[in-house]
Structure 1
Amino acid sequence: MDIRYRSKDGLELYAKSYGAENAPLTALCMHGLTRNHKDFEPMIDALLAEGLNVRFIAVDVRGRCNSESDQNVENYTPAVYADDMFTLLDHLGVEKAALIGTSMGGIMSMFMMSMAPQRILGVVLNDIGPELEQAGLDRISGYVGGNEPKENYEAAARAVADVQKAAFPNYTFDDWLAFAKRTYRERPDGKVELDYDPAIARTIGEVKPTPEIKQAMWALYAQLSAVPLLLVRGDISDLLSAENAERMITEHGNGELVTVSQIGHTPLLNEPDVVTALTKHLKSLEPNV
């Protein structure tokens, strides 16, 4: 089901609902920097196939896919996106939700926990944490914002593979084509282009992992200790180190780490071990799921 709502500053934003509307648990799914709601469809398909009785709300944050772009690029920040998420929950009449955040969506989850912890039942962080590796940040900043149109989805698939092949070494061309169809949109002239406002590139350009920023982010992360945590990491991730992932679990006290073999930044969350862990995690948040 399509969901359209207005942000506090008047933008028309979009989300999509999957599963039963009257399910006992709502999971809010928040994508990474250049992605959109479609990024979660492989995960949602796998979890619903398991018979999980959860309503999944996958979002397009402002400037992505079906959500309106913001003329004020200063608003392209996780804190603003997090505020939009509470507007969405209010629009839906959802008092409490589980959060599933991929990359930037995980940072949004941390902000949401600091803003209204009483509304968060549990958190899933997908290949993201309070401390990020410079190599991953450099790689992402190297391709974000470059929106040269491609002739068709096959050409887009080849372009995506060129950028992402190190993170998904076992992907076939069909996998890359599916990836491209989730991240590109068709233009009126028949060509395809990346499905986001290029101005979002400012977000990654302003990430400076100074000691002060790292300390502030670890303090922000510490607030997640009030709810159960599932942390997913790709074992060849260049953004979240194995050392920091282990530290996150140790400091949290009520978390589980799942490492996905031969995947970098980020897992799709439909991998068998992840589906098992997600099913367990979500069921633990609502006894009737």
Structure 2
Amino acid sequence: MASDDGFSDFFYTAPDGLRLHTRIYGEANTSGWPVVCLPGLTRNACDFHELALYLSQDAERPRKVIAFDYRGRGRSDYDPDISHYNVGVEAGDVLAGLSVLGIEAAAFIGTSRGGLIIHVLGALRPAVLKAIVLNDIGPVIEAEGLAYIKIYLDRSPTPKSFDEAVGAQRRVHGGDFPALADADWARMVAAICRETEDGWVPDFDAALVDTLAGADFSKPLPDLWPQFEALAAVPLLAIRGGNSKLLSAVTLEDMQKRHANMEAITVEGQGHAPFLETGNLPEQIAAFLDRAESKSFNSKA
């Protein structure tokens, strides 16, 4: 049963026994493809709250929305073996959750790491993907962007109050996100942090940062062009932050050349990764899903 917040909490068991969590919005909705939301490296299901409410409460086509907490994030169990914090294991966890929920296929929205997991799902079980929204991620990851993520995770402070936590996020990311308002920053902190006796801490297993140790960001990272091109038959919307350090404008242009069923949006005034609840992004995402499902997608093929 949905809570007053518009969602219900659902827990399931991963293949290796960890207890994992999802949020389900519009549980009784059957009017369109369900939507699966996959967050970034250290983020969780809260990132999609406003977008999920919008999609699940749409007047014409309310959709069921499932937002995942990967292992080690949000309300999911932490993994004692940090080698399991990888996109392959996490893709398997997503498939396990969908199996328990009885969902054979869905539209997928992936932010950053979530988009990488979508590439893996395309290799493991391509039939599960009905439509794709990639939020600031593509087959080429700029090493500069990943290095930047590692730096600010390593230096993440422990603010004593909510206001201090908001200020800390603005100091780190404000230059890339001049379009955000005070309410946006507050909503971000409420989504990614939890209050403890020591202050406001990131809501993920601190060992996740260790998975980036030893990476050489001075060299180009392996690309995923073969995996991306395998998604060519799936309608795709790619969203890029105009100030993104992770997804370049050149890569976005190359993606459009290689994918006949792709649309693209650049969100000015935002970096990695755009807040999907801001501006008219919810309307644009909903319209894309409707076009894809009604087979009126404007294919370039």
SS in 2 for 1:225: coil
Residue identity (%): 34
Partner of 2:169: 160
SS in 2 for 1:162: helix
**Cα deviation digits, residues 165-210 of structure 1 (max 9, x gap):** 12211333332222111111111x2622110001111344466575
Q: Distance in 1 between matches of 2:267 and 2:257?
A: 19
CA contact (8 A) 2:82 2:211 kept: no
Instruction: Say if 1:264 and 1:282 are closer, same or farther in 2 by CA, change over 3 A.
Output: same
Partner of 1:276: 283
> What is the TM-score when the length of structure 2 is the normalising length?
0.88
Q: Distance in 1 between matches of 2:167 and 2:121?
A: 36
Aligned length, in residue pairs: 285
Q: CA deviation at 1:243?
A: 0.8
CA contact (8 A) 2:45 2:68 kept: yes
Partner of 1:179: 188
Give the counterpart letter for 2:187 in structure 1: A
Q: Distance in 2 between matches of 1:234 and 1:147?
A: 23
Tell me, yes or no, if structure 1 residue 3 matches structure 2 residue 10: yes
Partner of 2:35: 27
Match of 2:261 among 234, 254, 258: 254
Tell me, yes or no, if structure 1 residue 105 matches structure 2 residue 131: no
Match of 1:83 among 83, 92, 98: 92
> What is the TM-score when the length of structure 1 is the normalising length?
0.92
Q: CA deviation at 1:130?
A: 1.1
**Cα deviation digits, residues 101-124 of structure 1 (max 9, x gap):** 000000000001110001211111
CA contact (8 A) 1:258 1:277 kept: no
Partner of 2:199: 191
Of the two structures, which has the highest relative contact order with CA contacts closer than 8 Å and spacing of 6 or more? 1
Q: Structure 2: where are the runs of 5+ without partners?
A: 1-7, 296-301
CA contact (8 A) 2:57 2:63 kept: no
CA contact (8 A) 2:29 2:62 kept: no
CA contact (8 A) 2:236 2:263 kept: yes
Q: CA deviation at 1:9?
A: 0.4
Give the counterpart letter for 1:45 in structure 2: L
Q: Distance in 1 between matches of 2:44 and 2:204?
A: 8
**Cα deviation digits, residues 74-101 of structure 1 (max 9, x gap):** 0001111101000000010111111100
More helix by proportion, 1 or 2? 1
CA contact (8 A) 1:18 1:57 kept: yes
CA contact (8 A) 1:150 1:192 kept: yes
Tell me, yes or no, if structure 1 residue 241 matches structure 2 residue 248: yes
Q: Distance in 2 between matches of 1:206 and 1:124?
A: 31
